A and B are shown apart, each in its own frame.
Chain A
Amino acid sequence: MRGVRPPHDDPAASRRATSLPVASPAAVRRHIGTLLRRHRREFALLVAVNAVAVGASMAGPFLLGRTVGSVAAGREVDLAPTVGLFLAAVAVQGLFTWQVRLRGAVLGERMLAELREEFLVRAVGLPPEVLEGAGTGELLSRVTTDVDRLSGAMREAVPQLVISVMWAGLLLGGLAVTSPVFALVTLLVLPLLLVACRWYFRLAPGAYRSETAGYADVCGTLAESIDAGRTIEAHRLGSRRVARSDGRLRVWTGWQRYTMWLRTVFFLAVHATHTLILTLVLLIGGWLTLRGRLTVGELTTGALLVQMLVNPVDMILRWYADLQVAQVSLARLIGVHEIEAGQGPGGLAPRGREMAAERVRFGYTPGRDVLHEVSLRIRPGTRVALVGPSGAGKSTLGRLLAGIHTPRTGEVTLGGARLAEMPAERIREHVVAVSQEHHLFVGTLRDNLLLARPAAADDALWDALHAVGAADWARALPGGLDTELGAGGLTPVPARAQQIALARLVLADPHTLVLDEATSLLDPQAARELERSLAAVLEGRTVVAIAHRLNTARDADLVAVVEDGRITEYGGHDRLIARGGTYAALWRSWHGR
């Protein structure tokens, strides 16, 4: 048979790129060691119970061997003790198997719960800068896919492997006790299996990853077709989507062909090894028995034990690939532990409320600065609007002022203290940024507001909703503040989600706010009403607003025009109009004059 080559198109390739760290094999081993030590008593007990269960399962061959030996020798045998022992062994095996499975599950589930909860603790402690850089997608895939894979492995592969490794070991021990020759023969043939294993386990994990990724692509393409149903119908893309789905299926089945080929070769090798061991044991054992070195009973026991060896070896081979997958997932999960949680010592506190950027340079990729030598001083209580074309660096400047990013050179200070040296928890007591990216959490409307101020009473929540013009529709909700939002519950339109985001801001009540297109999803009239009512609530706060609607700029105290990573104009609306620069031109065109 000709070999099957892996398909060219590898759906797992793009997923291999990762922006978050992955733990090294040594770190994974250390982590597993810590986990086991933490539960060493349960684990030791589990191993002991398992040993009893496996030991009891070997009683059959021994008892049968003894009986056969006696019959062959023509001795008189009393069957009652043998049958009694048989029954006792069955009972012990049943009881202990039950215990192994149960205790294994209890321990495994506890460790799994610890792992996934620890991961989330780490994830919510990540510095905002890391989240901005890596995006949440990668984190999301770790917390869903990798946790799922690990759970699957912990529930099946790990217990089965523990059981089968012990089983195989005890069987080899039993063989050695019956006759060292049997164990020797087995150990001599095993290297053949190891060669096949080396080949298979070198290629298999990657191939299965690609296959799984291929299937995820199949499902993902369909999900996208449904999600984008309107667009697809409007652009008449139906038949192209069908072709695309078929293409994904072709890639997936291509990988299935490849993994099937790997299994074909591997299965044949495994079977050949089994047959070879069994035949050799019988031939050599038979020859020794004929020479009088072994009894017929020992030969029987040996042959039966070797036959039993098939089961644990098959189990080990079957679950080993899953263990490899689980190891990769574990490395991805605990890799997040390697990110430094805080920014600096955190002993720093601002003295005052003046916000300043001093000769700030910043870029997302090395050698490509987005901001060049930007300096800006904002007095407490001022409302500043940042305007300028897309990609000029407005949002980046906003993020630097909110302490999400750290400038490459220069510094951003609040009350004289550098934001770069404060942890996120400290910064947000003073500065909060709201972007156009809004997110409603699964939970009640109350939960969605409380996160900004956990101790807030309902009255405060209603006041906040009122300030952002959301009180009317919130009151009309079926459950009021207790209405479930998000998956399975109510999904408010984006404009309302944006209002909730702003209500949180009112509750958080920081003295400085960065609003990045925070009202862009509302229609113009509603946006302006909201901005006005918000302005009343936020009287006296420092506000940095990024908006493409010039009304916002006009309502602000100062306008900063950002062009090509620099502030080109800075001043009051009227003064800038009078100056006749970029802003004035823009204002005229907005007015259609």
Chain B
Amino acid sequence: MSLRALPHADPGVPDVRSGPRLLLWLERRQWRGQLAAGLWGLLHLASLAALPVAVGRAVQAVADRSTGALAAAAGWLVVTGAVAAVADTMLQRAAVTNWITAATRLQQLLSRKAAELGTVLGRRVAAGEVATVSTNDVEKIGWFVETTARFSSALAAVTGVAVTMAVTQPEMAWIVAVGCPLMTLSSLPLLPYATRRADVQRARAGRATVLVSDTVAGLRVLRGIGGEELFLRRYRHASQEVRGAAVHSARMWALIAAVQVVLPGLFLTAVVWRGARLALDGSMPVGELIACYGFAAFLVTPLRSFEEMAMAWSFSRPSARRAARLLAMRRQSEPAAPGYDVLPDGDLFDPVTGTLAPAGLLTAVVCGDPDAAGRLADRLGGHDPVARAAGEPPALLAGVPLDALRLDDARTAVLVQDKETTLLSGTLAELLDVPRSGAVTARRALEAAQCADVLEALRKSLPAPRRDLPGPRDDPMAAAVTERGRSLSGGQRQRLALARSLVADPGVLVLDEPTSAVDSHTEARIADGLRELRKGRTTVVLTSSPLLLDRADRVVYLAGATAVAAGTHRELLRTEPAYRAAVGRTADERPRRTAGERELEEPA
């Protein structure tokens, strides 16, 4: 598999029955890469093992005073070195490619799952958990996949060297037989403790990071009102806890490092002791003694892979379990499409509240309870999991229950812009590039939503023109909107979101408090623009702003969760005292000035 072929055209259907099954599925999907890494790894280890032999031969040649043999040994050395170089490089390439291939596949599966689940995902798992899987777990799973190939080649190499040593020097056999397993297994009992301590350390570090980033995020508040010392104290405490945990964890790793020095050292000593005895007896040439020493020193390298494998397994298992659980989630009860090929077009009606939005008109809904308003907005879009769970009947569009349509069709027919709608990062052009009818241009939508100042702010944010880059450099459509539109003010964000909904130009548009963060001047202009742009289309606005209500064809007033009155804004103001109170008219009847304020004089 070449990196050039990534991302995968189709990441496949994972086996998500359990964590280990997911790991196995990933391994099987890229067995060719695994095989290549394994073979290169074997060749690399073989060449590493051959190096001491060459060195031994060279010393032997000198001891035998043979120039020719010395030259031959040097040649042997060069060839071995070259093979080792190529094999090691190719092993790195193959192993990293395996890692990336697995990580890419998982990331692709995650993004597809997120798109499939949509709203449901956020309801069922915390956003943080998905983030953990994508940033943390994918890496660990990739590590495991990468390590398996190294492990298999190390296993083969250790077996090979041990057998060779045992066969060529039978007297060494028992040292090898005892030494190898001992070295492999020695630090394994310590590893669980070490990883547990490392987990504690990570958890504490995570908490400290949450604290510090939270403090920094709220720094403007802190600097404005005080409390810095309080937060510094909290952070110092957390930071010292991290230090304690890190040192605690380092104690165990230091011990493991010592064991990893002592045991191979003892093994080496045993080999030298035994070998020297044989050499002194004359039954072993010095060259072979050096080779034996080299072999024994070499064994440390593949034995480390055993340990790495043990660690990768212990780290990746929980990660794989989390990933499998996430990938196993489904969107429930997608209804079978009963063959509505043409999207229904007509009045929108919510049976729960009795709210009716006649086709082609601008209907405003006033609802005292903001929660009930949000619920109404959700229901008007259909396919609302909360409503379904509560057993509420779905909204009807031209008499057709929206839930009976395919999800995609329902979303095409009715677009609900919720109260806290999110701007996606990218250029302004990308932001406004949503599926649309084509009847409304981005320019018209931006004008209707009164985005002139947003465009100006974005134009200013563009980098200075560069001669080496083509194209006009003062086009705000090319300016970047940061994640969630954080670089813009609340009102600017709201107007851009409105422009995006207007560009989509759906048959029915439901807007929940679309101008709550916009000043009155602008709100009045938006109300006019909205009316003009949506002429002949069905629009529902949930609002309590008189500026919007006054421009609606029809206003529905909800008391609690029931529509109790409908008419124009002025009619309702006249006839419904409760409505008048809800839209903020009571102030008119109240005496305004308090005693203390009368002595103030106004400037000339």
Contact = CB atoms under 8 A, between A and B. Distances in A.
B466 interface: no
A379 B596 CA distance: 13
A246 interface: yes
Contacts of B3: 253-254, 256-257, 260
B78 A275 contact: yes
Nearest to B251: A102
Which has the most chain B C-beta neighbours within 10 Å: A67, A155, A508?
Answer: A67
A249 B279 CA distance: 59
A390 B457 CA distance: 12
B85 A268 contact: yes
Given A68-B290, A263-B92, A523-B544, A113 B240 contact: yes
Interface in A395-423: 395, 402, 404
B7 interface: yes
A235 B500 contact: yes
Contacts of A144: 209, 212-213
27 contacts: A14-B480, A68-B289, A71-B289, A82-B272, A90-B268, A95-B258, A105-B251, A109-B250, A124-B228, A126-B223, A139-B219, A144-B213, A147-B212, A222-B110, A228-B422, A231-B418, A242-B111, A246-B108, A249-B6, A267-B89, A271-B85, A304-B293, A390-B450, A437-B221, A452-B226, A557-B597, A592-B549
Given A120-B235, A143-B212, A128 B223 contact: yes
A592 B544 CA distance: 13
Contacts of A106: 247, 250
Question: At the interface, is chain B mostly helix, strand, loop or mixed?
Answer: helix
A101 B250 contact: yes
A238 B116 contact: yes
Contacts of A381: 596, 600
A246 B131 CA distance: 17
Contact of B219 (A79, A87, A124): A124
Interface size class of B (residues with CB under 8 A): 35 or more
B247 A105 contact: yes
A151 B201 CA distance: 12
A432 interface: yes
Contacts, number: 506
Contacts of B70: 282-283, 286-287, 290
A94 B265 contact: yes
B213 A286 contact: no
Given A102-B250, A124-B223, A282-B74, A436 B490 contact: yes
Nearest to B218: A439
B112 A242 contact: yes
Interface in A246-288: 246, 249-250, 253-254, 256-257, 260, 263-264, 267-268, 271-272, 274-276, 278-279, 282-283, 286-287
Given A126-B219, A505-B225, 14 more contacts: A87-B269, A105-B254, A116-B212, A229-B118, A246-B7, A250-B6, A260-B3, A278-B51, A435-B220, A437-B221, A520-B516, A570-B603, A572-B602, A590-B546
A86 B220 contact: no
Interface in B237-278: 239-240, 242-243, 246-247, 250-251, 253-255, 257-259, 261-262, 265-266, 268-269, 272-273, 276-277
Given A137-B486, A271-B89, A390-B491, A98 B422 contact: no
B328 interface: no
Given A271-B88, A279-B78, A231 B424 contact: yes
B49 to A, nearest CB: 13
Contacts of A57: 261
Interface string A223-238: 1111111111111111
A236 B383 CA distance: 14
Interface string A57-81: 1001001100110011000110100
A486 interface: yes
Q: Which 10 A-B pairs have the closest CB atoms?
A: A451-B227, A275-B81, A105-B250, A271-B85, A90-B265, A101-B254, A245-B111, A233-B118, A238-B115, A439-B218
A132 interface: yes
A450 interface: yes
Contacts of B483: 220, 224
Given A72-B63, A131-B220, A442-B210, A264 B523 contact: no
B434 interface: yes
B569 interface: yes
A388 B122 contact: no
Residue among B67, B236, B280 with the highest chain A CB neighbour number at 10 A: B280
Interface string A194-211: 000000000000000000
Nearest to A111: B243
B460 A86 contact: no
B154 interface: no
Contacts of A271: 81, 84-85, 88-89
Interface in A126-184: 126-128, 131-132, 136-137, 139-140, 143-144, 147-148, 151, 155
Nearest to A101: B254
Contact of B230 (A132, A143, A223, A450): A450
A250 B225 CA distance: 46
Contacts of A528: 584, 587
A221 interface: yes
Contacts of A437: 220-221
B65 A290 contact: yes
Contact of B93 (A253, A260, A282, A539): A260
A286 B60 CA distance: 10
Given A98-B255, A124-B222, A136 B216 contact: yes
Interface in A518-544: 520-521, 523-525, 528, 539-540
